[in-house]
Amino acid sequence: MRRAAARTDLDFIYLASQSPRRRQLLDQIGVRHELLLPEPHEDAEALEHLLRGESATAYVQRVTWAKLEAARTRLATSGRTPAPLLCADTTVAIGRHILAKPNDAADAARMLGLLSGREHRVLTAVALAVGSHQQLLLSTSTVRFATLSAAQIDTYVASGEPMGKAGAYAIQSAAAAWVQAIRGSYSGIMGLPLYETAQLLRGIGWPI
């Protein structure tokens, strides 16, 4: 859904994400931001539940819209200064099979085994809301992993890095040594596609 664009004269945005990588990427393009995180009573993880038969594209966009709506409600009831609101969601897919965040170490090892020696897609949707305006853009990239040994997978899982990561890895971690090729957006694979983010911000008159 897209509504008429609005202009803002504020000098910061709210980032509705707990990801330090998204904060780093906003800093990289000089966008001042404050965090707007879920309250203790909010079940943020419930927003990420998969629906049977849902495609990766439909899933990541649905979850991002849901996160945006939850953040808009949070901002409206917080008493904080109104400002543009940004949120995003990332998922990994092999064919029609979605690899969300692993449940435990065994699940992480299973996912990495699926990625070994194969191409997969990384989809990140980013959404921006300000006033009555809201818009979402989608970035899709392709990553090819080298063939991984059981020892490599076990060592990476033991590091704890896969937990909380879609597809059980982070491109900016030691897993980068397995990446044979990338087509698409490196920042999108990290979790916030900067080209699409800049497009959204320019659309509300934000200087990038």
List, by residue number, the catalytic residues: 89
Classify residue 205 as left (phi > 0), alpha (psi -120 to 50) or beta: left
Q: Is 163 exposed, middle or buried (0-12, 13-18, 19+ CB in 10 A)?
A: middle
One-letter amino acid at 67 equals K
Show the tokens assigned to 50.
Answer: 């998969």
φ, ψ (nearest 5 deg) of residue 188: -65, -40
* Distance from C-alpha of 176 to C-alpha of 167, rounded to nearest angstrom: 14
Residue 34: HSE in the Cβ half-sphere, 13 Å Cα cutoff: 11
Q: Phi and psi at residue 147, in whole multiples of 5°?
A: -70, 130
42/145 Cα distance (integer angstroms): 36
Amino acid at site 154? D
Using CA atoms, how far apart are residues 177 and 23, in angstroms rounded to an integer? 24
